[in-house]
A and B are shown apart, each in its own frame.
Chain A
Amino acid sequence: IAGITQAPTSQILAAGRRMTLRCTQDMRHNAMYWYRQDLGLGLRLIHYSNTAGTTGKGEVPDGYSVSRANTDDFPLTLASAVPSQTSVYFCASSAGGGGANVLTFGAGSRLTVL
C-alpha cells in the first residue's frame, strides 16, 4: 500500500540522548516535511525538503536536523533531546510545486523526553 511509514511509533527518551525519527515514502513525491503537533497549537513545520539533496528550515528548526540523501527517505534527528521536544511528530510528503500542494501524512511518532 502506497504511503508514508514512520518509525518508531512511540518512544520514551532520556534528556540529552540522540534520537532519529525515520520516514520513508513510496509515492515518488518530490517534497517531504517534518511537523510537530502540540496540544492547542497548529502543526508547526520543523524542516522540509523540496527535492532530494536539498533541505530547508521551517518555523521551529532549532534542536533538529534532517537529511535527504534520496527521494524516499527523510530522517529527523534530535542531537541532544530536551523535554520541550516532547511532542507528536508527523512526516508528510507532496508532489511539490505550485497549485494544490496536497500533503500525505505518516501515522506519527509520539516522543516523550524525560
Chain B
Amino acid sequence: GQNIDQPTEMTATEGAIVQINCTYQTSGFNGLFWYQQHAGEAPTFLSYNVLDGLEEKGRFSSFLSRSKGYSYLLLKELQMKDSASYLCAEEDSNYQLIWGAGTKLIIKP
C-alpha cells in the first residue's frame, strides 16, 4: 500500500534550524512535494523534488533520496511566522498526490 510517514509535531527555537523528515513506500513514484499550512488556512506550495539531492530556496531546502524513499524539509533561521504544519505529499504514477498527515512545527522565542 501507499504510506506517507512524518512526525506529528516538532518544536524548535527562533533563529535555529529544523529538519522535518518524510518517508514514503510506494511504486510509481513521480515526485515529492512539501506544502506549508498555517492554522485555519489553505496549504501553499513550498517545494518539489523529482531527482535525488537538495533543492535550496532561500531559508527553505528540500532533499530527496529515491532509493531510500526519504525526503526532508530543512528550515533555517527560524522565524515565529514559520509556526505551521508542513505537509509531505508524494505524486504517484497518475500524477495524483498522496498526503502525509502533516508535521505541526511550534517555534518558541
Which residues from chain A sit less than 8 Å from chain B, CB to CB? 40-45, 48, 58, 90, 96-108
The segment out of B12-20, B57-65, B90-98 that lies at the interface is B90-98
Q: Which single member of B41, B95, B100, B102 contacts A101 (CB below 8 Å)?
A: B95
Residue of A nearest to B98 (CB): A42
* Inter-chain residue pair count (beta carbon < 8 A): 51
Q: How far is the CA of A89 from the CA of B62 in the complex (A)?
A: 28
Interface size class of B (residues with CB under 8 A): 20 to 34
Q: Does B99 contact A (CB under 8 A)?
A: yes
Collect the chain B residues with CB atoms within 8 Å of residue A99's CB: 31, 50
26 A-B contact pairs sorted by A residue (CB < 8 Å): A41-B101, A42-B4, A42-B89, A42-B98, A43-B43, A43-B89, A43-B97, A43-B99, A45-B96, A45-B97, A58-B96, A90-B42, A98-B95, A100-B31, A101-B91, A101-B95, A102-B33, A102-B48, A103-B43, A103-B97, A105-B42, A105-B43, A105-B44, A106-B42, A107-B42, A108-B42
| Nearest CB of A to B45, in Å | 5
Collect the chain A residues with CB atoms within 8 Å of residue B91's CB: 101
Collect the chain A residues with CB atoms within 8 Å of residue B30's CB: 98
